[in-house]
Amino acid sequence: MPKQAKTLQAQELRRVLDYIATRPHALRNRAMLLATHYAGLRVGEVANLRYQDVVDAAGAVRDEIRLEPEQTKGRHARVVFVNAKLRREFEAYLLAYPPTKPEHRMFYTQKRAAEGFTPNTLAQHFHYIYRRAGIDGASSHSGRRTFITNLASKGVGVRVLMSLAGHRHIGTTQAYIDVNDDMKRRAVEMV
């Protein structure tokens, strides 16, 4: 079985965000990374986001992002729910980098502003962010695993988690959940 991406603790995520704050393109990098932690987006889905997916006609961040099949793994359309924390991150980013054309990618690169990152270049970008922040074992999948594990630890059922993650099989979702001692302690206290 391949090694799973690291699930981040709150202090580790804080360390990554503190590192990002010291670097160029901080608002962009923060919004991209937190899209994986706060909404469980796959790195390819973050790379494929367009302004029109995230912002409505009035310029407001949508409550739900509807991803088309070509934007997702497995080519299955899905809905991603945007919580208040992620909405604030997107709003801060959009204030600094307003949309030029609705069909352009949301997250620019210096070389390909309108086309943005490819899934592969974004995965590499996340890898280097985590590494430079000193988080061993973290990868582009860490945000997604952290999102699913955090919700599971709060008692969200696996069928809801499966739907939020865009998985087609419950076993896939279960493999994402990183069981830890705190989860087990809380569970036995429920008896």
For 50-107, how does the pLDDT look when each residue is reduced to its tens digit (9 = 90+)? 999 999 999 999 999 999 999 998 888 999 999 999 999 999 999 999 988 999 999 9
- Rounded to whole angstroms, the Cα distance separating 81 from 104 reads 21
**Is residue 15 over pLDDT 90?**
yes
The token pair that represents 133 in the structure block: 């922040």
- Rounded to whole angstroms, the Cα distance separating 81 from 68 reads 14
Read off the pLDDT of each residue in 15-30 and give the average, rounded to a whole number.
97
Three-state DSSP state, 141: coil
User: In whole angstroms, how far apart are CA 28 and each of 41, 62, 64?
Assistant: 15, 18, 20
Q: For position 60, what pLDDT does the model report? A: 96
Q: Which DSSP symbol is given to 64?
A: E
Q: For position 2, what pLDDT does the model report? A: 59
- Rounded to whole angstroms, the Cα distance separating 103 from 91 reads 18
Read off the pLDDT of each residue in 11-35 and give the average, rounded to a whole number.
97
**24 pLDDT tier (thresholds 50, 70, 90):** very high
Whole-model pTM: value is: 0.90
Closest CA to 49 of 13, 93, 14: 93
Per-residue model confidence as pLDDT tens digits over 135-156: 999 999 999 999 999 999 888 9
**Is residue 190 over pLDDT 70?**
yes
- Our CA dihedral for 39, 46, 28, 125, rounded to 10 degrees, sits at 110
Q: For position 184, what pLDDT does the model report? A: 81
Cβ within 8 Å of residue 26, ≥6 positions away: 20
The token pair that represents 86 in the structure block: 């992620």
